[in-house]
Amino acid sequence: MKKSRILLILVAMLLPGFLTPVAVSQIGKRFPSEKKVIEDPVTGTPLTFLTSKPGMGDSKIYQTHPQWTFDGKWVVFRSNRVPGEGMAVNEETGVIIQITEGGYSGSLNVSRKALKLYIMRRLAEPDNSGNRSAAPQGRNQRTAGTQSQPAPGGAQGGRPQGMVRMPGGPVQIIEVDLGKVFSDSEAGKMQKAPSYERICGTIPGEMEPGDMAIDANEDFAYFRIGTTEAGKYRPAVVPNPEVFVGRTGGQSQSGLASMNLKTGEIKFVVAVPFPIGHVQTNPFVPGEIVFCWETGGKAPQRTWTVAADGSGLRPVYKESEYEWITHEAVITPDEVAFYIMGHRPVGMSYETDPAAPPQVNDPRNPGQQKEWGPSGTREKPTGLGVVNLRTKEMRIEGQTKSGSGLWHGSGSADGRWLVGDDFSRSIYLIDRNTSEMLMISTGHKETAQDHTHPSFSPDGTRIEIQSAMLSEDGRSMNICIIPVPKSWLNRTYSKTAPR
């Protein structure tokens, strides 16, 4: 009889569905190291792949947000190895740990001041018992300016029993104690998920919250609000009809609000007459917010900044109709890096010959459609630009001689380096003092599910990207670290940065 019961249990374990979502997605769950170092076959640069298992759909946090934990030891990322949950990989040991449970929506916001993480989690309507619980979080998507693609590794968690997903339901902002998660996971003494979480506050669903970023002092979170909520307020700017005619992206009103992370108090910040995307903060200056007009491509005026109290709304860089501005990121206390795209052929007649050249509508080379007007060609200056938030002065720091031009990237906090990628997924490093530009890595596959989105480590010695180089299907990505060459790190200058 005893043997029969054991046999039945073993058979049941082989049946689909035996392992419940809780059993396979517990916070603190550890995965063995996948770390491997390979040499870039073209540049010779040593590439450290912190994840290398095929088909896991790993992806880095967007370059507008921190990637490394406060102690500099862990890289936080998204992955489908546990659908809907955040992960962290130890850069030295390679061990991977699940750092959320119950899903999240939007960005993973890594603290710069402590071993903590801030996430949004949507709640569901009460079940028959009257209890309210976390709803399954929708697949995390982000728009990346130039013909964006969905980002993998967002959220598709299991549906709690008795719960019905309500897209307009309330959203909690939650603080996760990563220090406690890491130590308890190492000791093999994990507790239930709520032991590691603090609910900072709850945002009413009718506000349609999204795109969160944490203030430099980490006492406030700023988030996008939807059309209905923003419509209660007068927009802080009025578009010029002559400039905005014929552009995509619409003029639906949206806005920003804030939450006090200690009290949960919510305050309105600003309303604007266009869709907001890529909300980020200045990590060095409290109360300074940067965001964009999101169109999926060329915007009439892409980059914006505003103070936390709603004052001072203005463009970060005032652009013209022929400038295709995209992928802005705060890089130093006074500077924002952005990209003036140079990816479209000069002289193309978009009105009379929308089918030419051959790359029209090619998802690997976006932006050839006639809807984007005269922008994005090299008839005018293009490249990686840096604008000073205080003086409004801008300089173009570098550009590829051919091809798409630089596309995404960031800069080191000390002002020494800039990094950018292009349509071929090649990675370029720029010395801001000498203007030297070096391709440090290539071959990360144009067929990848997403773009490389390079980001600097806090100390400016390493660059994180997401790469399909190791992928058999040419799409699934892994987390990869590229070192700044030692010969560059050893350079000395009379000043830190050309500012």
pLDDT digits (tens, 9 = 90+) for 103-120: 999 999 999 999 999 999
CB 316 within 8 A of CB 389: yes
Please give the C-alpha separations between residue 222 and each of 213, 260, 267, 307, 437, in angstroms, as whole numbers: 5, 9, 9, 11, 35
**Range from 122-131, 228-237, 282-291, 400-409 carrying the lowest mean pLDDT:** 122-131
Single-letter residue type at 412: S
- For residues 205-226, give the mean pLDDT: 97
Question: CA-CA distance, 139 to 416, in Å (whole number)?
Answer: 36
pLDDT at 351 over 80: no
- For residues 124-133, give the mean pLDDT: 51
- Tell me which residue of 31, 35, 181 sits closest to 94, measured CA to CA: 35
- For residues 452-475, give the mean pLDDT: 96
Please report, rounded to a whole number, the percentage of residues in the chain having pLDDT higher than 70.
77
Encoded tokens for 344: 């479209």
The model's pLDDT over 332-347, given as tens digits with 9 standing for 90+, comes to: 999 999 999 999 888 7
The whole-number pLDDT of residue 332 equals 98
Question: CA-CA distance, 462 to 194, in Å (whole number)?
Answer: 34
In the sheet where 383-388 sits, what is the strand order? 325-332, 335-340, 383-388, 394-398
Mean pLDDT for the chain?
Answer: 84
Please report which confidence band the pLDDT of residue 21 belongs to, taking 50, 70 and 90 as the band edges: very low
CB 132 within 8 A of CB 126: yes
Please report which confidence band the pLDDT of residue 162 belongs to, taking 50, 70 and 90 as the band edges: very low
Q: What residues contact residue 288 under an 8 Å CB cut-off, 6+ apart?
A: 216, 281, 282, 305, 307, 308, 389
pLDDT at 396 over 80: yes
The whole-number pLDDT of residue 135 equals 55
- In the block, which residue shows the tokens 């719960």? 163
The whole-number pLDDT of residue 148 equals 34
Question: CA-CA distance, 53 to 75, in Å (whole number)?
Answer: 16
The whole-number pLDDT of residue 25 equals 66
Please report which confidence band the pLDDT of residue 360 belongs to, taking 50, 70 and 90 as the band edges: very low
Encoded tokens for 186: 């190492």
pLDDT at 362 over 70: no
Question: Where are any strands of DSSP class E within 156-265?
Answer: 171-177, 197-203, 210-214, 220-225, 254-260
Is the Cα dihedral 341, 347, 350, 351 positive or negative? positive
SS3 for 10? helix
CB 211 within 8 A of CB 226: no
The whole-number pLDDT of residue 369 equals 64
- For residues 185-195, give the mean pLDDT: 97
The model's pLDDT over 38-68, given as tens digits with 9 standing for 90+, comes to: 999 999 999 999 999 998 999 999 999 999 9
Encoded tokens for 288: 């300074």
Question: CA-CA distance, 221 to 209, in Å (whole number)?
Answer: 11
The whole-number pLDDT of residue 129 equals 46
Please report which confidence band the pLDDT of residue 365 belongs to, taking 50, 70 and 90 as the band edges: low
- For residues 239-251, give the mean pLDDT: 50
The whole-number pLDDT of residue 348 equals 54
Angle CA 285–290–294, to nearest 5: 170
Please give the C-alpha separations between residue 158 and each of 131, 151, 345, 399, 491, in angstroms, as whole numbers: 17, 19, 47, 45, 51
What is the H or E stretch that residue 105 is in? strand 105-110
Model pTM score: 0.85
Question: CA-CA distance, 319 to 394, in Å (whole number)?
Answer: 11
